[in-house]
Every structure is written in C-alpha cells, then in structure tokens.
Structure 1
Amino acid sequence: MSISKPYYRILRPNTESCSYVRDTRYAPDRLQLARAYINIEKKLREIFNYIEPDERNLGTFSFELYTLLLRACTEVELNCQLILKANGAKSSGKYFTMEDYRKLEKSSLLSKYKIILPNWKSTTSDESVEYGKYEFFPFEDFGINKKPQWYQAYNHVKHDREGKLEEANFKNCIQAVGAILALIYSQFGGYCIEPFNNDCKVYAMNEDRYDGIFDADVIFEVVPPRREDWDDEEKYEFNWKKLKTEGMPFQKFDFNAVNIKRNAEEDCKEKQTLETADEDMSSNLTS
C-alpha cells in the first residue's frame, strides 16, 4: 500500500507532480536554501577559473579549497538537521552527528543520488585529452554504513588544518558541493533551485525521472533514485489538490525508529586522527 500523505522535507516518487514541496507547511525555508546553495556554487565556479576541471587536478589543495570545503559541509549538516528536526528526530548524542545523518538513507535513498559535472577533462592511456563528464554519488557510502570520504576530510582539516590540509582538495570540494544539491533536490525536487519564487522549475537528468529534465543554471546535473529503487509501499500516492485542503496534509517520518549500526573500524580511525591532531596542536603550542 502506497503512502497517502507526504513526509516533511522528503521527496519520493508520486502519481502526480511534486508541487506539494512549495507549500510552506512542508518547509518554510526552501528559497533560502536555494540562495545558500547558489552562493556556495558561485565560489566553486570562481575556483574553476584557476583550477581546470580536469582529473589531473583532483588532488590539488589550497586555503581557498579549505574554506569552500568548510562552507559546503556546514551547509550539508544544516540540511540534514532540518530534515531530521522537521520529522521529530532526536539526536543520538548531545548534538546531531553523521550517525544521525545516515538515517536519511532510509527516508530518502541518498546513496542512489548521482551528480554529474558535464564539463570535464580527462587523459586517456595514450596521453590524449578526452572531454566528458565527471560522475559521482556523494552519499554512496551511506549505502554501506560509512561516512562519505569528503565529510571525513572536512572533519580532519577542521581539527588539524596544518597537518591535513591536503584533504581540502579539489575532489572533496566538488563532491561536497554536489552533496548539497543532492540534499535540496531530495527535499524539493524540481523546485529546489528557485531562489526568488519565480516559477523557474528545475528538473532531473533521468529518463525515469520524478518530474522532468534538469535545466537550471547550475553547474551540475542530478539523477535521483529510479522509481524501481523504491518499494511500492514506500512511494507516494495522493491527490494534492484535494489533500492540501484537508487539515494538515503532511506527516512525520519516524527517524527515531531507524537503527543505524556504528561502524567500529571507522570510529576507531576517526578517534585516532583526532587524538593525533590534538597531540600535534599541543606540541606546537608548547614548542
């Protein structure tokens, strides 16, 4: 049996359009999130003027990239928390962390979102230049109960900029910015980039799409999960014109009932990294 009311801030395949995401009861800050994304993407575009979108540059790192990585990952955290809080989720500790954010895999299938950077240069085995696309799944690790590599890099450089600056690299920045777009699309679908409420609808690059073809003025393309990735009972089925007039047309997804096993190996590595960073910082301060 399909779901008769949409969850707050959670987009899923539906029998009709996703216009319900524009209702302020669903999410009051859609336009602000669009503006924030555009502002961050603008910085990445500027960096493209100095670092060519080329696979040979994926490991390039700098203070500018460090700043962008911090901004992008902070925005990722904000979006994750907004989804969780709108649905009444409680944090697993004092604050929301990646342990909580991974629960979004259950509600939104984030690991299935593919981001495409269409203007990309690579080099073939015979050293000739080839132009194509850079494709990645920013939340792919959610599907195997791990933290995304770009997010781990963010935590490392945040606690140890001098020792881990090389992790603030081109690849991690591209993927972190793409992750923001995946998150806002997972909430608002084709209306995710509409900063001034001007009916400029965004669409997804996917023949089996939810609501069209992605053509907004952004540097990425988005491919959401396929309809068949969802079980029939997980899909939406309702008449929005009728539903929106019947009291509260939205419901909460029970994140508190979702159990995510901690990745012991990952936690151990993270703890060792942070302890090393603290030791190095203390050593620098006393020397």
Structure 2
Amino acid sequence: MSRTIPSFPLPERNNVPLNEIFYYNHIYGDFKEYEIVYRRKISREAATIKNQYLGTEQIIINSFQYVQPTVKNRSTTSVRFATIIREASNLFEILSRMIYNKLFNVQENSNLDIKNFLTLDVFLNLRQGVLSAPLLQDDFSSSDILQPFSSLDTWDRESLIRKEHVPRWWKAYNKLKHDLLGFEEYATFENALLSLGAVYLMICRIYGDGVVGGKLERPMFGNSFSTSFAHQVVPVSQLFIEDTDYKTISIFGER
C-alpha cells in the first residue's frame, strides 16, 4: 500500500551527494567531476527529456501563426494550449518525482503530489527562476507569466505547502488532465507558457546548460592549472532564456 508523504517536514535525506542528483548551485572541484556532468547531459535519460520538451515547445511556437504572442492574448484558449499544459506538466511531474526519490529515503511507490514536488524549491530555488522569451512580441517582464513558481514567494520553507502556494498552471493541469470541462477557463496561452517555462527551469536546474538551454561544453583536457572545453552546437529552446542571476558550476583553472 502506498504511503502519503506530507510536504513538511521533509523526509530523511539519503546519503547520495547533491551534486550526483542535480547540477544547480554546485562547485565541481576537478576535471573528472566535470566529465561526469557532461555524460549526464548527453545521457539517454537527458536526451529523452530534451526531445519531449522540444516537441512540446514546438507546438506553442507553431501556434504563433494564428495567435499573436502578446500580453493581451494571455487568456486566449486553444486545444493546442490544453495539449501543451498536459504534456509540460506531466513532464514536470516525472522530473520532480525522479529528483524527490533520489533525495529522500522514501518508497518508490509513495503517494507524492504537487505539494511534495514544490518543496524541491529548498534545493533548486525554483521561486527565483525568471525567464525571458525573445519570440514574444510584448514586454512580458511586467507580469509574472515568465516566473512560473512565483506562488512560492510566500512559502517560508519551514511549514506545509498550502493551496495558495500551488501555481495556477498546475491547477489548470488538474482541470484539463481528465476532461475538458474547464477548457474555456484553463486552456489558455498564459497557462501554456507558464507550464512550459516551469519544466524548462526544472530541466536546467537538474542538468545545467546544454540540454534545453545554453551551450553544451565538452571537457577535452584538464590538469591542476587549466581546463580545455569544446563548445558543441546542439538544439536548444527557441522560446526561453533564463534571466535568473545565480551561480551554477565552477571548474578549476581557465575557460
């Protein structure tokens, strides 16, 4: 029988080092560690996640042919937007469950939900994730459309995740997951952007640059004085760039 895990207090941590679970906010001290990071970025797991993300992103880019990507159209509804919300939110759930199970001593079949997944903010600082989207025609920076986890701003990280902390794009996902009764209210351009931005941030936090955003750097040579990297051209997001000012990874020597 599956066990329900409360969102707080967090379960007991296992002994897996954080830098073996995700990329975000770690300093890697030697060339060998960077090679491990690189192999994770080009793994079959990362490739599968990347392909699913880019395929879903392409749906919203194609929609710009008939829906102008402007702030005034944030409430526009579409069957395609419903598809994006379901696909992106499902991928976010898969990734969150994977990281949660790697972080904590919980059973694989534990009954986890969005409130558990949002507590990953403690480790991944999701609330600070801010995106820009050059393809969008208006200035979206004055709204929170490009900050998918802004609802976590009021969570103190020391108490239960509550209803008000759950992002509206996830609420839309729950309304659209099993039927279309909430289509007119929830299958919106805004929720499609938010859900896609949420999974984009999650992928970047887990794998770093070179999967869905940024440059892929292949480590070529390293010693105690310097490091050599080759930049590899790979398909990445055509929609989002992360504007967040945060430290990701540091390697000894020069780049």
CA distance in 1 between partners of 2:43 and 2:96 (Å): 13
Cα distance change on mapping 1:154 and 1:25 into 2, 3 Å: closer
For the Cα contact (< 8 Å) 2:197–2:240, is it kept in 1?
yes
CA distances 1:77-120 after superposition (whole Å, capped 9, x unpaired): 11111211223452799422111101210111011111111233
Report the counterpart of residue 66 of structure 1 in structure 2: 82
Q: Read off the aligned partner of 1:153 and give its amino acid letter.
A: A
Cα distance change on mapping 1:170 and 1:109 into 2, 3 Å: same
Cα distance change on mapping 1:222 and 1:200 into 2, 3 Å: closer
Report the counterpart of residue 151 of structure 1 in structure 2: 170
Report the counterpart of residue 57 of structure 1 in structure 2: 73
Q: SS of the counterpart of 2:85?
A: helix
The match for 1:142 among 152, 159, 163 is: 152
Q: Read off the aligned partner of 2:185 and give its amino acid letter.
A: E
The match for 1:191 among 185, 210, 215 is: 210
Q: Which deviates further from its counterpart, 155-164 or 49-58?
A: 155-164
Structure 2 runs not aligned, ≥5 long? 1-16, 156-164, 218-230
Q: Read off the aligned partner of 1:144 and give its amino acid letter.
A: T
CA distance in 1 between partners of 2:153 and 2:49 (Å): 25
Q: Report the aligned-residue RMSD.
A: 3.5
Q: Which deviates further from its counterpart, 133-142 or 56-65?
A: 133-142
Q: Read off the aligned partner of 2:79 and give its amino acid letter.
A: F
TM-score by length of 2: 0.68
For the Cα contact (< 8 Å) 1:5–1:236, is it kept in 2?
no
Cα distance change on mapping 1:89 and 1:42 into 2, 3 Å: farther
For the Cα contact (< 8 Å) 2:23–2:208, is it kept in 1?
no
CA distance in 1 between partners of 2:85 and 2:21 (Å): 28
Percent of residue pairs bearing the same amino acid type: 17
Aligned length: 206
For the Cα contact (< 8 Å) 1:61–1:165, is it kept in 2?
yes
CA distance in 2 between partners of 1:167 and 1:106 (Å): 28
The match for 1:180 among 192, 199, 211 is: 199
Q: Read off the aligned partner of 1:58 and give its amino acid letter.
A: R
Cα distance change on mapping 1:200 and 1:108 into 2, 3 Å: closer
The match for 1:223 among 243, 247, 253 is: 243
Give the Å deviation of 1:35.
1.2
Report the counterpart of residue 106 of structure 1 in structure 2: 122
Give the Å deviation of 1:41.
0.7
Q: SS of the counterpart of 1:96?
A: coil
Report the counterpart of residue 112 of structure 2 in structure 1: 96
For the Cα contact (< 8 Å) 1:116–1:220, is it kept in 2?
yes
CA distance in 2 between partners of 1:24 and 1:120 (Å): 31
Q: Read off the aligned partner of 1:121 and give its amino acid letter.
A: Q
Q: Which deviates further from its counterpart, 33-42 or 85-94?
A: 85-94
Structure 1 runs not aligned, ≥5 long? 123-131, 203-211, 228-234, 241-287
Q: Which deviates further from its counterpart, 157-166 or 102-111?
A: 157-166
